[in-house]
Structure 1
Amino acid sequence: MAIVRPFKAIRPDKKYADKVISLPYDVMNREEAAYMADGNPYSFLHICRAEIDMPEQKNPYEKSVHERAKQNIIQNIEDGVFVVEEKPVMYLYKQVMNGRTQVGIVGCVSVDDYQNNVIKKHEFTRVEKEIDRINHFDICDANTEPVFLTYRDNKKIRSIVEGWISSHEILFDITTEDGIQHTLWTVDDDSVIKNLSELFGEIPALYIADGHHRSASACKVGLKRREENPNYTGEEEFNFFMAVIFPDNDLRIFDYNRVVKDLYGNTAEEFLKKVETAGFEINEKGSDVFAPTGKHIFGMFLNDKWYELQAKPEIIPDHVIDSLDVSILQNNVLKPILGIEDPRTDKRIDFVGGIRGLKELERRVKTDMQVAFAVYPVEIADLLAVSDNDMVMPPKSTWFEPKLGSGLFIHKL
């Protein structure tokens, strides 16, 4: 059963919170981070992307970058930009995007739960990205950004959350430049914290929605600290890492679309014929953007035209992974017809998050690509089913919005 506990957070002082909050470290490059933080010395990008405070040639994976991040945390505490909670607390974190609301509980989860698969995964991680976050967390002596977890909705937990929100003062209420509203409440009542922890203790599993590298890295830092402290009791903070935990019913997964550089030697006519032969019914839609209307329906943009591709029943397997639309597209079009053997490494394919809209697919095809595929979004139920079966999603299957704000809380190890 899941362990969720309070922690003595480092967080922004109220008067600085709207200046500190930033996007997560992994949704931008160095140049974008520098632009976003320009003129704002309080931006959390000076911590999660500390290379922006160093010479331009600085490798963001170098340990000196993380040393700079550590110094920036210390300086912010000394300057009063950050404060340290007097006691372990939880938080409630509400995000509103385009009228849709999701409310999560901020607390710490267990390294052992990650190890024992109580915290379930659905993605592979890359070693170099893990090492980077291991160094960052270890040198900073803190989880600087939370992991995004979900769980199957629980009426008792939801009742406590809604009750607290309706009767307690807001800590932060920030609307960022992208239009996302971030609202935070401090849960400092020991009896309520105990009740929430006990209710999570009855939940069989938590699921990583976003943040597989942060989770894996936080776990490995915890294990490293255990080796360095052989008399550890299990209660030390390094045995836990920070997460925001949302009920599954609150969440929405956006589409994650594909663009390919060429037709692998085929003419457009040959390619369309091969797609049809591969098991798709093709309907030409013309110049108007076509968005998939349901599972196993794809949009395709080719030669300034949109097409609807409907997968026929015979190519839809009864398998939790292979029946996903991203798998159907990979196994029947991208690999056999376009020669994309491994989408993780092939330079001829790129991925476009659905938040950018389908017009972005048109733009890419008109600039540096030749064909685009719009994919119906994976559903939360699919993600949970894959995780429950200890399987791994195909690469670039899920895109969650809104992203968690970084800088609202830090967990010191």
Structure 2
Amino acid sequence: MATVKPFKAIRPTKDKAFYVASRSYEEYSKDELQAVLKYNPFSFLHIINPGFKFEKHITGQERFHLVRNRYLEFLEENIFQKDDAPSFYLYQIVKEDFKSLGFFCACSVEDYRNDVIKKHEDTLQEREELFADYLDTVGFNAEPVLMTYADNDEVNAIFQRKIKRVPEYDFTTVDRVNHKLWKISYPEGIEKLEKAFAQMDALYIADGHHRSASSDLLAKHLEKENSSHNGQEPYNYFMAYLIPESQMRIYEFNRMVKDLNGFSKKEFLIQLDEYFMIEKETSGLCRPTKKHEFCMYLKDEFYKLHLRKTNYQFTDALSELDTQILFKTILEPILGIKDLRNDKRISYGYGKHNLIKMKEDVDKGKFEVGFSLVPTTVEEIKAIADAGLVMPPKSTYIEPKLRSGLAIYEL
């Protein structure tokens, strides 16, 4: 039984939504970030980069307090408004080759604790505590956790009726992505959505494991401090964006390694022969076409690696995952990479053009070898989450990527 709850969003006024909405901070180059901050006073980036106002790089608690101040300024200057009634917020993203239609809602930390909200990645305690402290100080949640659910006809019918109406927002950003947002605030629609999700056994985190873990940690802290805690306080929920499985797109992360751990090219290929049938690819760029098949670029040549299933044992859902197979057969035993998060010898790349970049980087000598994989599937994510297992880092790059600042949840 999954809980979804409407909330009174803080969001930009209709005339400023285009200017407020921003991509994730990490997606901006240094020059692009400075240009947006200099020429767009309404960008949400001003809130999360409060040091720009003072021409100073600010970190820690000082930054957290200034983020809070910039947020309050946006409210005082009527860049942001608070809705009068609790609502769900239907948000559609359309670009050239992809469309998603999901909704912002509040999800329960209790569901997270009880494994109704299922995860497939480990989190780092230090990052959990840092973000929990951030949320406690700034008092709002602007980065929703991306979650997915099994396609549901009743939910889809509600959405399809709603998108026939005039949206609250309708704008296209400079990257040619169209954004539309509708409010679902009428009691019948809210009740139908709540009941539909109450009949679902689980929701699955696609992106935002640290954000959900931090919200849970903050809720535990605030509960201890609140002698009149009743379970309905805003801190018992966190903002999420929910989309059906069919509208989530998953890309692969390729792996690039800086050296062969002391092996020559011939010695390395001999080591690979233990677990793989090796086929030299002569037709140009090599892309894997199925599970348990890998493409490797090594010193000017592409190879296809076909897993020898007689030598590798499948024991659970994790052992069947290609990123885990690559780790257990090559990266760890041959190349000596044991810590996929922190080892500086390995890098990751994603996107439909990354195979070309991977080849170029190996040719330039930045890396000795690169591996290309097929994307992880939704079914694999769910199987691993259902089994309580954890994927290797950088197993998935998931879309949609949401704009920040369109809906904010106050704690």
Structure 1 partner of 2:84 = 86
Q: Contact 2:89 / 2:181 at 8 angstroms: preserved in 1?
A: yes
Map residues 259-278 of structure 1 onto 2, 5 A cutoff: 259-275=256-272, 277-278=273-274
Give the counterpart letter for 1:298 in structure 2.
F
Aligned to 1:106: 104
Contact 1:287 / 1:304 at 8 angstroms: preserved in 2? no
Provide the secondary structure at the position in 2 that maps to 1:215.
helix
Bigger mean CA deviation after superposition, 373-382 or 131-140: 131-140
1:308 correspondence with 2:304: yes
**Where does 1:22-33 land on structure 2 (aligned, <5 Å)?**
22-25=22-25, 27=27, 33=33
**Aligned-CA RMSD value:** 1.9
Q: State the percentage of identical aligned residues.
A: 38
2:149–2:244 Cα contact (<8 Å) kept: yes
Taking the aligned partners of 2:35 and 2:370, their CA distance within structure 1 comes to: 30
Report the equivalent of 1:48: 48
Give yes or no for contact 2:296–2:302 (8 Å, CA) kept in 1.
yes
Kept in 2: contact 1:143–1:218 (CA 8 A): no
Q: Could you tell me which residue of structure 2 aligns to residue 196 of structure 1?
A: 193
Aligned to 2:391: 393
Amino acid at match of 1:348: R
1:290 counterpart = 2:275: no
The whole-number CA distance in structure 2 between the counterparts of 1:20 and 1:223 is: 32
Q: Which amino acid aligns with 2:356?
A: K
Say which of 327, 343, 346 aligns to 1:346: 343
Correspondence for 1:74: 72
Secondary structure at the aligned position of 1:290 is classed as coil
Query: Pick from 296, 300, 317: which aligns with 2:314?
Result: 317
- Kindly indicate whether the alpha-carbon contact (under 8 Å) linking 1:274 and 1:337 is maintained by their aligned counterparts in 2: yes
How far residue 357 of structure 1 moved from its aligned partner, in angstroms, is 2.3
Letter of the 1:293 partner, please give it: T
* Match of residue 119 from structure 2: 121
Deviation of 1:126 after TM superposition, in Å, equals 1.8
Q: Does 1:18 align with 2:18?
A: yes
- Cα 1:216/1:48, change in 2 over 3 Å: farther
CA offsets, 1:206-245, max 9 Å, x none? 1110011111111222222212212122122111111100
Q: Number of aligned pairs?
A: 409
Q: Deviations over 1:337-381 (max 9, x none)?
A: 111112122111111123552112123222421111111110001
Deviates more, 1:176-185 or 1:301-310: 176-185
CA contact (8 A) 2:100 2:400 kept: no
The yes-or-no answer on 1:209 pairing with 2:206 is: yes
Tell me the TM-score normalized by structure 1.
Answer: 0.94
Unaligned runs of 5+ in 2: none
Matched to 1:148, the amino acid is L
1:141 to 121, 139, 159: 139
Query: What are the ranges of 5 or more consecutive residues in structure 1 without an aligned counterpart?
Result: none
Deviation at 1:32, TM superposition (A): 6.4
TM-score of the superposed pair, with normalisation by structure 2:
0.94
1:343 to 1:176, Cα distance in 2 relative to 1, 3 A:
same
* Corresponding residue SS for 1:358: helix
Equivalents in 1 of 2:265, 2:31: separation in Å?
37
Give the conservation status (yes or no) of the 8 Å contact 1:108–1:240: yes
The superposition leaves residues 68-104 of structure 1 with CA deviations (integer Å, 9 ceiling, x where unpaired) of 1111111111111111101111111111233321111
